[in-house]
Amino acid sequence: AQSVSQHNHHVILSEAASLELGCNYSYGGTVNLFWYVQYPGQHLQLLLKYFSGDPLVKGIKGFEAEFIKSKFSFNLRKPSVQWSDTAEYFCAVNRAGSARQLTFGSGTQLTVLP
Amino acid sequence: DVKVTQSSRYLVKRTGEKVFLECVQDMDHENMFWYRQDPGLGLRLIYFSYDVKMKEKGDIPEGYSVSREKKERFSLILESASTNQTSMYLCASSQNIGTNTEAFFGQGTRLTVV
């Protein structure tokens, strides 16, 4: 079975700082990768996804992520965070061709100070 | 827009009660999921269903059962609620066409067992 590791449990940044959240997965086959975000009091929503093709994917609100197959990584980045980016971020993976088993990491709480 | 609706935002139940959590999706998705979300543990899959009356256990099925009598509805049942089942419960759905699709989430049910 696949697993997902998010190394940072809580990240605190000032506005305009750059962000990088780590995500590593363990599965030797082809995978689909996702980043979800949960703003305070809101439901989980998709930030971006990678299925195939260009390993640098762009999502909503200026976020991007890079899939590095050799490192089993899918790190999330944003060049300049805003206070409104305060949220919990989850990395998730499923096996390509199988939507059934979607496995999540433990999440990273991002706090952006104004 | 896909809509996944969970019947309750907040529930308080007594130990030993039988509890039903209901979830409805309106996009004719084949797959439906139940997760629980706990601080520091991320989302853990309880059960998923890939078709009417079909279900598979996830990572933490003990103490839970599910029912899917209609395609749009997926119910989570706590046979005899216990305090360690106090948690946020999230329902999700996804398509199976091509299988490369993301999951859409409901807003969650915060269950407290006293």
Question: pLDDT by residue (tens digit) across A28-81?
Answer: 788 899 999 999 988 899 999 998 899 999 999 999 999 999 999 999 999 999
d(CA A75, CA A29): 19
Q: Is the pLDDT of residue B100 over 70?
A: no
pLDDT at position A2 is 79
User: Three-state SS for A103?
Assistant: strand
**High-pLDDT (> 70) share of chain B, %:** 95
Q: Is the pLDDT of residue A1 over 90?
A: no
For residue A58 the two structure tokens come to: 């762009």
Query: What mean pLDDT is predicted for residues B89-107?
Result: 83
pLDDT at position A52 is 87
| A102 vs B: CB within 8 A | yes
Within 8 A by CB and 6+ apart from B12, the residues are: B111, B112, B113, B114
- Quick one: which of A4, A1, A7, A2 has its CA closest to A92? A4
* Burial readout A9-35 (b: 16 or more C-beta within 10 A, e: otherwise): eebebeeeeebebebbbebeeebbbbb
For residue B100 the two structure tokens come to: 């490369």
Confidence of residue B22 (pLDDT cuts 50, 70, 90): very high
Out of B42, B106, B107, the one facing A107 most closely (by C-beta) is: B42
Best A31, A37, A44 residue to mutate vs chain B (most B CBs within 10 Å): A44
Tell me whether strands B109-113 and B10-13 are parallel, antiparallel or unpaired.
parallel
Phi then psi for A71, rounded to 5 degrees?
A: -105, 0
Q: CA torsion sign, A3 to A7 to A11 to A15?
A: negative
pLDDT at position A95 is 82
- Cβ <8 Å between A102 and B94: yes
- For residues A57 and A65, is the Cβ–Cβ distance under 8 A? yes
pLDDT digits (tens, 9 = 90+) for B51-87: 999 999 998 999 999 999 999 999 999 999 999 999 9
- What is the least distance, in Å, from the CA of B42 to any CA of chain A? 4
Among the residue ranges A13-27, B39-53, B67-81, the one predicted with the least confidence is: B39-53
Confidence of residue B101 (pLDDT cuts 50, 70, 90): confident
Per-residue H/E/C for chain B: CCCEEECCCEEEECCCCCEEEEEEECCCCCEEEEEEEECCCEEEEEEEEEECCEEEECCCCCCEEEEEEECCEEEEEECCCCHHHCEEEEEEEECCCCCCCCCEECCCEEEEEC
- Cβ <8 Å between B35 and A104: yes
For residue B53 the two structure tokens come to: 């009356």
d(CA B35, CA A38): 15
Residue indicated by tokens 């308080």: B12
Query: What mean pLDDT is predicted for residues B3-29?
Result: 95
Chain B hits for A104, Cβ within 8 Å? 35, 42-44
Confidence of residue B98 (pLDDT cuts 50, 70, 90): low
Q: Which amino acid is at A99?
A: A
Q: Is the pLDDT of residue B99 over 60?
A: no
* Average pLDDT value for chain A: 92
Apex A61 CA angle, A58 and A65, nearest 5: 30
